[in-house]
Structure 1
């Protein structure tokens, strides 16, 4: 039986060459700017039942806050907002566009903010997450965050209020 050939190459070589020519999308982390707010609001509105307002985001463009976005080939795939108070970082908002979920964008943002907090000699990162948000809780646990408490009736919900799981990550000096 003869081997199939394409232009003098075996079929497997041709398939391998064409697969290596396909490039993976480029993910880039960058600081957010106020001009990013329309894209941020688009993601926020798709990501949360009780989204932040544009005014809340605008208030975060000041000292003491860090806002990062992840771009994939020029498209905002997700963002994170943190506040810095004394030696502690508070993760206030991390959201990934539904079309980019399950591809590591949230983990990339989380690792970036941990790296930046360590670089800036912060002692810990804290966050709140809805008790019902199992995917986010699993991500935070997998990156070393531990539950340190609960905040009762912290998040508005369709049927009233939902408790928050408070999680923390101690940073190594």
Structure 2
């Protein structure tokens, strides 16, 4: 199979992004919802491709000196091959290049693969939102400094994410 390519994308790729989101999450975000998000200049869309096949996606929002990973997904047959790590790393690089010193995200306490990815990638837990997801699971709020001191992140308790 072809080498993995991570590319920035716009609203015209919302259908492909929604297709990946649908095989990764329930409920999933529709092409219309993704396109609306991608119309905003603060939103970064990334597609991962192997040859002509779309194998992963991510959406980030970048505002001032902070970024938030809104969603990231890898199609099931490509999981465990480093695709998620590469998409996440590209999102972090793009966010940092736009001035974000920190990246935030939420992950379900039930999402073992996501928690493992973020742990390997250097994220730390800074909070928990009880009953955040539709299935009643809690959301761990995670943060990673992308450069410097996180642009004035100040002193706060940061707990390493445990597996």
Task: Name the count of aligned residue pairs.
Answer: 147
Higher relative contact order (CA 8 A, sep 6+): 2
Q: Establish whether residue 32 from structure 1 lines up as the match of residue 9 from structure 2.
A: yes
User: Are 1:169 and 2:147 an aligned pair?
Assistant: no
1:67 CA drift (Å): 0.3
Structure-2 separation of matches of 1:29 and 1:172 = 22
Q: Does 1:91 align with 2:69?
A: yes
Please report how far the alpha carbon of residue 123 of structure 1 lies from its aligned counterpart in structure 2 after TM superposition.
1.4
| TM-align CA RMSD | 1.3
Q: Deviations for 1:41-96, whole angstroms, at most 9, x for unmatched residues?
A: 22111111221222220112221100011110121110110001221000000001
Q: 2:98 & 2:76 partners in 1: Cα distance?
A: 31
Question: What does residue 161 of structure 2 align with?
Answer: none
Name the residue aligned to 2:96: 118
Gaps of 5+ in 2: 149-163
TM-score calculated relative to the size of structure 1: 0.80
Contact 2:46–2:57 under 8 Å retained in 1: yes
Candidates 114, 122, 125, aligned match of 1:147? 125
User: How far does residue 115 in structure 1 lie from its aligned partner after superposition?
Assistant: 1.4
Tell me the SS of whatever aligns to 1:166: strand
**Structure 2 equivalent of residue 70 of structure 1:** 48
Is residue 127–residue 142 contact of structure 2 (8 Å, CA) maintained in 1? yes
TM-score by length of 2: 0.84
Aligned 8 A contact 2:11 2:36 in 1:
no
Instruction: Give the gaps of 5 or more residues in structure 1.
Output: 1-23
Which of the pair is proportionally richer in strand?
Answer: 1
1:81 maps to 2:56: no
The CA distance in 2 between the partners of 1:39 and 1:117, in whole Å, is 22
